[in-house]
């Protein structure tokens, strides 16, 4: 009797223990499926949001680059999870912030595999909305060149718009160029290499890629430098895709940065590859002089850098333009040739400006005799928002929220 009693008690204990275990197991399974269902719903919502944004993208662009469904397939494979980016940037902590652009802060992050990335976090109050975000994602997913910054992916989740790029260790060109305490590494050979690298990257955008891209905001702060001081063109939020046979376009929504805008774009809203050529010329002159174009705006004669450089050219005092910190390493012939090329790029006459392919030929082929540059546009900067050019036309309306105003240092 005693042994039987013990056996019944043991069975009862087993039953009592088993019931809670089964209940916990079932609850865990149920919770797992609920989590997976919520995650699937969230992913579908993100995909739906991306699809909606892509379909709202300009129909002309989708006609040139493919259907919205094809775009989703292209960019969906590089979509990052928000938690991954939060972990990489330590939840966007201030110590990881490495810059502040016109559209929001940029953070350094380290992915789980140890790869360093730069995360561009679009501010909700910035001028860059869904259109510009999708524009940059689509473009950068299609473009690959050693002189363009490489986009690794993006995140569109919980009202966050994030762009994930290769981390470029040496920051931007302006970081070194306009600070006398930092421009030591920029001797003349490195500056010449940077000029050539920018030219190669722009040629790829204009001619050699499967798309024809007008950058529209080329400037020193959008040129990143890697450890070997190779130039990497960045920030394609306001770039425009051109059709194969398209050479120019008009807009009433003028975006970009004053001081780098061509006169036909700033005043009339006309833009083309030659608008980018104008901005390239300004950057070349900044690289040679070590001065930002805006640093000339407060002078009594109200010259900008292109017009100031052209006057030095006409006076025969071109060497006065050289940044004193690079004089010892400078090749006079190369520097004068680059100034000549820069001034050809900033001519007011659009047709007189060289193409980027010809710019590279002039940089690399000294048998080409360069023409003398004509006068660049003489802007009068009455106030930062105003451009008065020698062109006579009624200015089109501008969207000031999308314009970066440059200020003298």
- Looking at residue 266, which CATH number applies to its domain? 1.10.510.10
Quick one: 290 and 244 in the same domain?
yes
Tell me the pLDDT band of 48, cut-offs 50, 70 and 90.
Answer: low
The tokens of 133 are what? Answer: 């975000």
- Do 304 and 296 form a contact (C-beta atoms < 8 A)? yes
Mean pLDDT check: name the lowest of 239-253, 366-380, 395-409: 395-409
- Give me the mean pLDDT over the 59-77 stretch: 48
Residues 337 and 383 in one domain: yes
pLDDT-based confidence at 90, cuts 50/70/90? very high
Q: Are residues 400 and 297 in the same domain?
A: yes
The predicted pLDDT at position 384 comes to: 40
Q: Are residues 279 and 379 in the same domain?
A: yes
Q: Are residues 198 and 307 in the same domain?
A: yes
Residues 156, 205, single domain; the answer is no
Q: Which two tokens mark 267?
A: 């005043």
Cα 259 to chain centroid distance, Å, stands at: 18
- Tell me, yes or no, whether 121 lies in a domain: yes
Listed range (40-49, 192-201, 204-213) with the worst mean pLDDT = 40-49
pLDDT at 74: 56
| 199 and 278 assigned to the same domain | yes
Does residue 75 contact residue 135 with C-beta atoms inside 8 Å? no
Q: How many CB atoms lie within 10 A of CB 214?
A: 23
Residues 263 and 291 in one domain: yes
At 14, is the pLDDT very low, low, confident or very high (cuts 50, 70, 90)?
low
| Terminal Cα-to-Cα distance of the chain (whole angstroms) | 100
pLDDT digits (tens, 9 = 90+) for 349-360: 999 999 999 999
Task: Label residue 389 by pLDDT band (50, 70, 90).
Answer: very low
**Assigned domain for 38 exists:** no
Cα 166 to Cα 143: distance, rounded to the nearest angstrom: 14
Claim to verify: residue 381 and residue 237 sit in the same structural domain: yes
Q: What positions carry a catalytic annotation?
A: 217
Query: Are residues 213 and 94 part of one domain?
Result: no
Q: What's residue 200's pLDDT? A: 98
User: What is the separation of C-alpha 297 from the centre of its chain, rounded to a whole number of angstroms?
Assistant: 26
Q: Determine the Cα–Cα distance for residues 373 and 203; give it in Å rounded to an integer.
A: 21
Asked if the structure places residue 35 within a domain, the reply is: no
Return the top range by mean pLDDT from 3-12, 46-55, 96-105, 360-369. 360-369
Residue 4 falls inside a structural domain: no
Distance, in Å, from the CA atom of 318 to the CA atom of 231, rounded to the nearest integer, reads 26
Asked if 92 and 107 count as a contact pair (C-beta separation under 8 A), the reply is yes
pLDDT tens by residue, 230-287: 999 998 878 888 765 556 667 666 777 888 999 988 888 888 999 999 999 999 999 9
Phi, psi at 354, each rounded to 5°: -75, 160
Domains contained in the chain, number: 2
Q: Which of 51-60, 65-74, 337-346 is most confident?
A: 337-346
Residues 229, 221: Cα–Cα separation, whole Å: 14
Query: Does residue 298 carry a pLDDT above 80?
Result: no
Q: Per the domain annotation, does 325 fall within a domain?
A: yes
Reported confidence tier of residue 377, pLDDT bands at 50, 70, 90: confident
Whether residue 132 is contained in a domain is answered as: yes
Q: 107: domain CATH number? A: 3.30.200.20
Q: Are 75 and 143 in contact (CB under 8 A)?
A: no
pLDDT digits (tens, 9 = 90+) for 110-134: 999 999 999 999 876 555 566 677 7
How does pLDDT run across 310-348, given as a tens digit for each residue? 999 999 999 999 999 898 898 899 999 999 999 999 999
- Asked if residue 383 belongs to a domain, the reply is yes
Say how far apart CA 86 and CA 77 lie, in whole Å.
Answer: 19
Does 103 lie in the same domain as 81? yes
Among 104, 132, 166, the domain-final residue is 166
**Are 87 and 120 part of one and the same domain?**
yes
Domain of residue 86: give its range: 69-166
Of 127, 146, 166, which residue sits at a domain end?
A: 166
Looking at 150, 166, 182, which one is the last position of a domain? 166
Domain annotation covers residue 61: no
Tokens 């980016």: give the residue.
85
Distance separating alpha carbons of residues 177 and 223, to the nearest angstrom: 11
């Amino acid at each position: 009797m005693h042994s039987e009693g013990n056996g019944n008690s043991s069975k009862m204990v087993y039953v009592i223990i088993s019931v809670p275990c089964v209940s916990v197991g079932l609850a865990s399974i149920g919770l797992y499926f609920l989590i997976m269902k919520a995650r699937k719903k969230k992913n579908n919502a993100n995909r739906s949001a991306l699809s909606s944004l892509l379909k709202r993208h300009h129909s002309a662009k989708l006609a040139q680059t493919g259907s919205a469904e094809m775009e989703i397939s292209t960019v969906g494979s590089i979509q990052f999870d928000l938690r991954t980016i939060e972990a990489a940037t330590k939840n966007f902590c201030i110590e990881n912030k490495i810059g502040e652009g016109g559209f929001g802060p940029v953070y350094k992050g380290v992915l789980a595999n140890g790869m360093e990335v730069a995360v561009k976090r679009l501010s909700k109050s910035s001028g860059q909305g869904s259109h510009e975000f999708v524009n940059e994602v689509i473009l950068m997913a299609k473009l690959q060149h050693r002189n363009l910054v490489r986009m690794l992916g993006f995140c569109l989740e919980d009202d966050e718009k994030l762009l994930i790029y290769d981390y470029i260790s040496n920051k931007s060109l302006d970081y070194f160029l306009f600070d006398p305490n930092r421009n030591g590494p920029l001797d003349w050979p490195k500056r010449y290499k940077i000029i050539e690298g920018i030219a190669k990257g722009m040629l790829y955008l204009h001619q050699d890629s499967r798309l024809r891209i007008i950058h529209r905001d080329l400037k020193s702060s959008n040129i990143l430098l890697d450890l070997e001081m190779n130039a990497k063109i960045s920030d394609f939020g306001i770039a425009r895709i051109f059709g194969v046979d398209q050479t120019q376009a008009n807009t009433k929504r003028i975006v970009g940065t004053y001081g780098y805008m061509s006169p036909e774009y700033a005043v009339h809203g006309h833009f083309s590859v030659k608008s980018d050529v104008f901005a390239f010329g300004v950057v070349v002159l900044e690289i040679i002089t070590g001065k930002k174009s805006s640093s000339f705006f407060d002078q009594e004669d109200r010259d900008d850098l292109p017009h100031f450089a052209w006057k030095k050219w006409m006076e025969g005092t071109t060497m006065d333009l050289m940044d004193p910190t690079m004089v010892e390493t400078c090749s006079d012939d190369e520097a004068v040739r680059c100034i000549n090329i820069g001034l050809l790029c900033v001519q007011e006459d659009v047709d007189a400006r060289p193409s980027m392919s010809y710019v590279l030929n002039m940089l690399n082929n000294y048998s080409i005799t360069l023409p003398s540059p004509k006068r660049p546009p003489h802007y009068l900067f009455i106030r930062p928002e105003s451009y008065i050019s020698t062109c006579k036309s009624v200015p089109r309306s501008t969207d000031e929220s999308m314009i970066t105003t440059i200020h003298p240092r």
